Amino acid sequence: MAFKSGIVFFTIVMGCLALPTPDTDLSQFFEHLDLNAQGRIVGGILAPEGSHPHMVSMCTGMRVRNLICGGSILTQRTVLTAAHCIVAVFRFGSLSSELRIRVGSNRWNNGGVMYTLSSNATHEHYESTSRKNDLGVLYTRTPIVFSETICAIALDFEHVGAEIQTRAAG
């Protein structure tokens, strides 16, 4: 009886210590989509370098960088992003001191120019549960230097009707 109990105990312990083999091929879940291995947006393609000069990436970490969110340059000192992105890096009444934005690169972890941030503003009626009014603005410590690959987004307030082709960047 003790021998059988020992085998059962050993089997349970070994089962608890077993690690699953990660499945690196997730294509079975996306068979119905035309995927490009280079695209980050499902069904998307890698944008040509410099094609979205208004885009920024928000990163934290001094030694190891972590991508938080993206945003768009509004002016030389302001960046539009989502309020939930700001909330994610807001600690003890201010932005994380490790938060940086990268501009002028299609890559979030290299190239372009890094800027530090001085403050932020979120929509006063932002609701985290429903993501209603999910708008925020980041203010840079120094002005963003515009160039061929770095500039403010052109804002357009016209209505976009049905059947109009658009594109997303992120």
Which one has a higher pLDDT value, 62 or 23? 62
Report yes or no: 168 and 71 within 8 Å, Cβ to Cβ: no
Could you give the CA distance from residue 123 to residue 130 in angstroms, rounded to a whole number? 14
- CATH for 55-140, among 2.30.140.10, 2.40.70.10, 2.40.10.10, 3.30.70.660? 2.40.10.10
Could you give the CA distance from residue 139 to residue 125 in angstroms, rounded to a whole number? 20
Report yes or no: 164 and 123 within 8 Å, Cβ to Cβ: no
Per-residue model confidence (pLDDT) at position 30: 47
> pLDDT at residue 32 above 50?
no
- Tell me the residue ranges of DSSP E strands in the chain: 55-60, 66-73, 78-81, 90-91, 94-95, 100-103, 113-122, 136-140
Could you give the CA distance from residue 111 to residue 14 in angstroms, rounded to a whole number? 47
What confidence category does residue 25 fall into, taking pLDDT thresholds of 50, 70 and 90? low
Q: Where are the domains of the chain?
A: 55-140
The pLDDT tens digits of the residues spanning 127-170 come to 888 889 999 999 999 999 999 999 999 888 888 888 888 777 77
Could you give the CA distance from residue 108 to residue 67 in angstroms, rounded to a whole number? 7
Could you give the CA distance from residue 149 to residue 166 in angstroms, rounded to a whole number? 21
- Predicted model pTM: 0.71
Percent share of the chain, pLDDT over 90 = 34
Phi-psi region of 81 (alpha: psi -120 to 50; beta: other; left: phi over 0): beta
The pLDDT tens digits of the residues spanning 65-116 come to 788 899 999 999 999 999 999 988 888 888 888 889 999 988 888 889 999 9
CB atoms within 10 A of CB 97: 12
Pick the closest to residue 102 from 134, 135, 61, 136 (CA basis): 61
> pLDDT at residue 33 above 70?
no
Q: Across residues 44-50, what is the average pLDDT?
A: 79
